[in-house]
Structure 1
Amino acid sequence: MTDPSDDVRAVVEDTELPKRLREEVYRVVDEKGASLDQAEDIATAVESRYLDTRVDPLDPVGTVSAQSIGEPGTQMTMNTFHYAGVAEIDVTQGLPRLIELVDARKTPDTPTMHVYLDEEHATDREKAHEVVWRIEATRVLALGDVSTNVADMLVSVDLNEDTLRERWPTYDDLDEIVAEVAGIIESNLGVETTRPEPTTVEFGPDQPSYRELLQLVEELRDIVFKGIDDVSRVVIRKEEVESGDEEFVLHTEGSAFGKTLKIEGVDPSRSTCNNIHEIHRNLGIEAARESLINETRHTLEEQGLDNVNVRHLMLVADIMTNRGEIESIGRHGISGNKESVLARAAFEVTVNHLLDAAIHGEIDDLNGVTENVIVGKPIKLGTGDVDLRMGAGRASPESADD
């Protein structure tokens, strides 16, 4: 006697559904404990819906996608909001963020990273803070007070003991931490340091000069003693992750994705950033495509526009990345690189495109939508790509039999 689950699977497998949908139908049927007849009804209904929603041949999917994203885009706000639940970290949202993505800006206005931690560091706050100090840039003003002694031509750095122990938690000896700070000052400024007190570091210019003294102070402020130069702030939050567990997640102000992935304690398989170019450089073009889809979808959902079908966003991401590089949608990217002269001219800098095409003797085959609209011909999509011819006449089936 056959197992009832085998009969259900046979019913589901007998449909035209792709594998992912077949598995989803089987999972739901199994969870609900549906009978064989109910399973057949569900599979038939899903198959019918799937076939109805497939794109018909010659459908202008590009135009439909542009309309489907552009129309709700007019309802988006123009503002930058605080990131939900994270104090003092701003991220660009709404229309400016959408424009940033389709323009493929090299650097976002508000670069940020979401850093997930490995098992050892994700659930222990102290361990998580160790990772925070490896990422967040620590400059001299965060470590103590800086003062200048013009009479003796000296710069004095009075280090805060509590701050040093907090930022170098793996060091047991305070003297080692101060020695490391002094060593970083010496290597960056090319000066010799002294320590009149256990937590004080002093140094000065080679020759008595008020200008050089001030120059040393300015250079001292820019030194990064620990962490990554581009990451100015890290906020640590306890969040529920996909597995359903709660763990500590780091949100950064500033982005250095490649360097962050190499830091001990960081989970590189889940961490991400909002700079698609950094993702492309470190993880490749497929990861950049996935990031584009996720970022555009998240931007629309933040504005309550979650009814935009993800396939439209996937199409945009595919067009921007299908040549192996990230191209913007504009005259410096996809629109400016079209094969059609008229399509390029219709977008921006019309005269320049027409003049260049005339100089180089380009020919427009009128294959696309824009160029056919310009010259008044039917576009080669939908019914416009079907040729109808009138015949001289056709014999009826009866006469053919005779």
Structure 2
Amino acid sequence: MMDLKKEYGAVLPKKLLEEVEAKLPSNASDKQIKEILDRVVSEYQSMQVEPGEAVGIVSAESIGEQGTQMTLNTFHFAGVAEMNVTVGLPRIIEILDGRKTPSTPMMEIYLKEPYSKGKDIKRVALAVKESKMQDAVSSIEINIAELTVSAVLDDAKLDAIGASKEGILKVVEKSFKDFQVSAKGNQIDVKAPKDFSLNQLYVLKEKLKELHVGGVKGISQVLPVKKDDEYVIVTAGSNLKQVLGLDFVDETRTTSNDIFEIYSLLGVEAARNAIIDEVFKVIENQGLKINERHIMLVADMMCASGMVKGITRYGVVSEKSSILARASFETPIRQFTNAALAGELDELNSVIENVMLNQPIPVGTGLPGLRAKGDEK
């Protein structure tokens, strides 16, 4: 087999050879293996794109055609209030436009054993969900005469979010360093300076209500879901950096639908994979089929500069060297004005500008340039 691998290594990718080797029957003779590899080479070469093929148009058509079949709805998780996920065409547009924040950020948090089998799943889910001061108190009141905001902790609510009085008091003291913080029993008082106005006191009350006291910031809802034979926590809201730092989380499989968060944390290659996965997920959920390579081409285009750029006039289109290509997308007057001021020259190397000028396009049969071989004498 090693000799055959060397022989076919020049014509087949290493990964493909490894896949063939893994699926070969153990009792196959060299002759049979050679026949199989010859067939693989034949199939592989027939799948190669012809030089000059207009792959961009094929991809655009393949994605656009299926896009017309998509619904415009948002999917709602049953039994959980305010937990929606944008799907269908709005989600595709959101991804390809390169929007900084998704309209419904969410995560799929995979767990390590024994938690993935269901052990303490409720406690684990609550450890992920963000808890605010208002989730731990029975009341928050203002004492105008004393210029004080008082929060009364509720023992049952503290148990529900897995927090302690001491822990919450430390958070309050840390967050309100310029104020006098005191505690008596279940009551925490935050006393404002004497020059505080009534409006400022109400702002202080709202800040105290929204104070983060536990869980992961940004995760507003959690839903344990059974996938195959393990539990996965689906969340509304995303904070990949903090979640990956939790000791019970399987960091190798946990994902977020926020592409820019993935890009800032894991880099452009991870963002490219996220774009492919997210678009493919939307298409599959709609019951449609698109060859993954079309989506890969779009993702490659978005990430080619080393940054994630949307397919918009400010993203991928702004990087085109051709003035006519940029003008054909949007804002032609501005493009022509800026190009004239900068003294730019259009080399007419791409497709759009040649179509505009009624010239042969450098695609297909228009790609090769014929050259005559001169006599050396």
TM range (shorter): 0.7 to 0.9
Residue 286 (structure 1) aligns with: 269
What's the TM-score once normalised by structure 2's chain length?
A: 0.86
Residue 89 (structure 1) aligns with: 83
Is 1:185 the counterpart of 2:172? The answer is: yes
Residue 201 (structure 1) aligns with: 188
Q: Which amino acid aligns with 1:380?
A: P
Is the 8 Å Cα contact of residues 134 and 210 (structure 2) preserved in structure 1?
Answer: no
Structure 1 residues 51, 151: closer, same or farther in 2, change over 3 A? closer
Is 1:328 the counterpart of 2:310? The answer is: yes
Structure 1 segment 207-218 matched on structure 2, within 5 A:
207=194, 210-218=198-206
Q: Which amino acid aligns with 1:136?
A: K
Residue 352 (structure 1) aligns with: 334
Structure 2: distance between partners of 1:147 and 1:328:
45
User: Structure 1 residue 239: deviation in Å?
Assistant: 2.1
What do residues 59-90 of structure 1 show as CA deviations (whole Å, max 9, x unaligned)?
Answer: 12122211111221121112211258977521
Is 1:157 the counterpart of 2:140? The answer is: no
Structure 1: distance between partners of 2:204 and 2:318:
49
Q: Structure 2: which 5+ residue stretches go unaligned?
A: none
Residue 224 (structure 1) aligns with: 212
User: Structure 1 residue 119: deviation in Å?
Assistant: 3.1
Structure 1 residues 112, 149: closer, same or farther in 2, change over 3 A? closer
Residue 49 (structure 1) aligns with: 43
Q: Which amino acid aligns with 1:219?
A: K
Q: Quick one: which of 270, 288, 303 aligns to 1:305?
A: 288
Structure 1: distance between partners of 2:78 and 2:14:
37
SS of residue in 1 equivalent to 2:25: helix
Structure 1 segment 220-259 matched on structure 2, within 5 A:
220-240=208-228, 246-259=229-242
Q: Quick one: which of 110, 131, 136 aligns to 1:116?
A: 110
Residue 94 (structure 2) aligns with: 100
Is 1:18 the counterpart of 2:20? The answer is: no
User: Structure 1 residue 227: deviation in Å?
Assistant: 2.1
SS of residue in 2 equivalent to 1:378: coil
Q: Which amino acid aligns with 1:183?
A: K
Is 1:137 the counterpart of 2:137? The answer is: no
Q: Which amino acid aligns with 1:191?
A: Q
Structure 1 segment 352-371 matched on structure 2, within 5 A:
352-371=334-353
Structure 1 residues 107, 149: closer, same or farther in 2, change over 3 A? closer
Equivalent pairs counted in the alignment come to 368
Structure 1: distance between partners of 2:210 and 2:81:
25
Structure 1 residues 202, 60: closer, same or farther in 2, change over 3 A? same
SS of residue in 2 equivalent to 1:373: helix
Structure 1 residues 149, 27: closer, same or farther in 2, change over 3 A? closer
Structure 1 segment 370-381 matched on structure 2, within 5 A:
370-381=352-363
Q: Quick one: which of 344, 366, 372 aligns to 1:384?
A: 366
Q: Quick one: which of 154, 161, 168 aligns to 2:162?
A: 168
User: Structure 1 residue 264: deviation in Å?
Assistant: 2.5
Q: Which amino acid aligns with 1:60?
A: A
Is the 8 Å Cα contact of residues 142 and 205 (structure 2) preserved in structure 1?
Answer: no
Residue 66 (structure 1) aligns with: 60
Residue 174 (structure 1) aligns with: none
What do residues 275-311 of structure 1 show as CA deviations (whole Å, max 9, x unaligned)?
Answer: 11111111111111111111111111111122x1111
Structure 1 residues 85, 38: closer, same or farther in 2, change over 3 A? farther
User: Structure 1 residue 257: deviation in Å?
Assistant: 1.4
Structure 1: distance between partners of 2:346 and 2:210:
55
User: Structure 1 residue 218: deviation in Å?
Assistant: 1.4
Q: Which amino acid aligns with 1:238?
A: K
SS of residue in 2 equivalent to 1:30: coil
Structure 1 residues 105, 329: closer, same or farther in 2, change over 3 A? same
User: Structure 1 residue 203: deviation in Å?
Assistant: 4.3
Q: Quick one: which of 122, 125, 141 aligns to 2:119?
A: 125
Is 1:77 the counterpart of 2:82? The answer is: no
What do residues 219-265 of structure 1 show as CA deviations (whole Å, max 9, x unaligned)?
Answer: 2111011123322122222322xxxxx33322111111122222232
Structure 1 residues 17, 85: closer, same or farther in 2, change over 3 A? farther
Moved more, 361-370 or 56-65: 56-65
Moved more, 53-62 or 133-142: 133-142
Q: Which amino acid aligns with 1:192?
A: V
Greater Rg by CA: 1
Q: Which amino acid aligns with 2:343?
A: G
Is 1:146 the counterpart of 2:146? The answer is: no
Is 1:316 the counterpart of 2:298? The answer is: yes
Structure 2: distance between partners of 1:279 and 1:333:
18
Identical-pair percentage: 38
Moved more, 316-325 or 21-30: 21-30
User: Structure 1 residue 163: deviation in Å?
Assistant: 2.9
CA-based RMSD? 3.0
SS of residue in 2 equivalent to 1:354: helix
Q: Which amino acid aligns with 2:14?
A: K
Structure 1 residues 11, 280: closer, same or farther in 2, change over 3 A? closer
User: Structure 1 residue 53: deviation in Å?
Assistant: 1.3
Structure 2: distance between partners of 1:221 and 1:103:
36
Residue 396 (structure 1) aligns with: none
Structure 2: distance between partners of 1:133 and 1:11:
52
Structure 1 residues 362, 351: closer, same or farther in 2, change over 3 A? same
